[in-house]
Amino acid sequence: MSRAEDVSATAPDGPGRPRLVVIGPPGVGKSTVAREVARRLDLALHDSDTIVEERAGRSIGDIFLEDGEAAFRELEQDAVRAALTTTGSVVALGGGAPMTAAVAEALQGHDVLFLDVGIADAAKRIGLNRSRPLLAVNPRATWVATMEERRPTYERLARWQVDTAGRGVDEVVAEVLAVLGEDGTQPHGEPGGSRPDVPDADRPDAPGDQDGSR
């Protein structure tokens, strides 16, 4: 198994510190970008949604349907805490995870990247309907309202922000590696918040997103 393969089920319980934690809305490409960054840096990948599904033995959609959102958020909180103990890994969080107070608190002091996207690109990438319980009704309007609610939290928690709109996976990953200083330059931004300016995007291909929530 390559280091970049998702090894969420074997996430250790001991203390550690991931190399990068990726947050952002559904459709932004968190899973895709995180996986490629992990592959290029030869690091383990942990996805909070995958941890939840493997521990519960059910899909996130089924958990929402059978147990409700509150039950899912409890499972998600435990999954995030486990992922954040992994040393030198890349961690991808479900879109709603940072909105849980305990998760937001746990993210303090970590190197968090906010991947940003607009509704037009998000709709093209995911169709706003695949196994996403919170987008089941009037998905476009729900996505916009949800993003407006979550954006301040994403921006507050992130050390870096990268816009994925109109950009291919390679271009987005190249910028992520640059802000990390993994392209031979110094890391961008200061711990706790400042983010580099994000260039305009003009490429039609874009990262996909397997984020199941939420």
pLDDT tens, 51-81? 999 999 999 989 999 999 999 999 999 999 9
Strands 45-47 and 20-23: unpaired
Q: Given pLDDT bands bounded at 50, 70 and 90, which one contains residue 1?
A: very low
> Distance from first CA to last CA of the chain, Å, rounded?
29
Q: Where are the domains of the chain?
A: 8-180
List residues forming the annotated binding site for Mg(2+): 31
Most confident option among 9-13, 108-112, 162-166: 108-112
Q: What is the dihedral of CA 93, 98, 100, 106, to 10 degrees?
A: 90
| pLDDT value of residue 19 | 96
Angle between helices 119-126 and 139-157 (to 10 degrees): 110
Q: Selecting from 3.40.50.880, 3.40.50.300, 3.10.20.30, 3.30.1330.40, what CATH number does the domain 8-180 have?
A: 3.40.50.300
pLDDT digits (tens, 9 = 90+) for 131-170: 455 555 567 788 888 889 999 999 999 999 999 988 999 9
Q: Given pLDDT bands bounded at 50, 70 and 90, which one contains residue 121?
A: confident
CA atoms within 13 A on the CB side of 94: 30
Q: Which residues contact 17 (CB under 8 A, 6 or more apart)?
A: 84, 87, 88, 110
pTM above 0.85, yes or no: no
Q: Which residues contact 175 (CB under 8 A, 6 or more apart)?
A: 162
List residues forming the annotated binding site for substrate: 49, 73, 95, 150
CA atoms within 13 A on the CB side of 88: 5
- Name the least confident of 21-35, 57-71, 80-94, 199-213: 199-213
Strands 112-116 and 90-92: unpaired
Q: Given pLDDT bands bounded at 50, 70 and 90, which one contains residue 85?
A: very high
List residues forming the annotated binding site for ATP: 27-32, 132, 167
Q: Which residues of 147-186 are buried (b: 16+ CB within 10 A; e: fewer)?
A: beebeebbeebbbbbbbbbbbebebbbebbbbbbebeeee
Please determine, for residue 198, whether its predicted confidence score (pLDDT) is greater than 50: no
List residues forming the annotated binding site: 27-32, 49, 73, 95, 132, 150, 167
Q: Which residues contact 88 (CB under 8 A, 6 or more apart)?
A: 16, 17, 18, 19, 43, 44
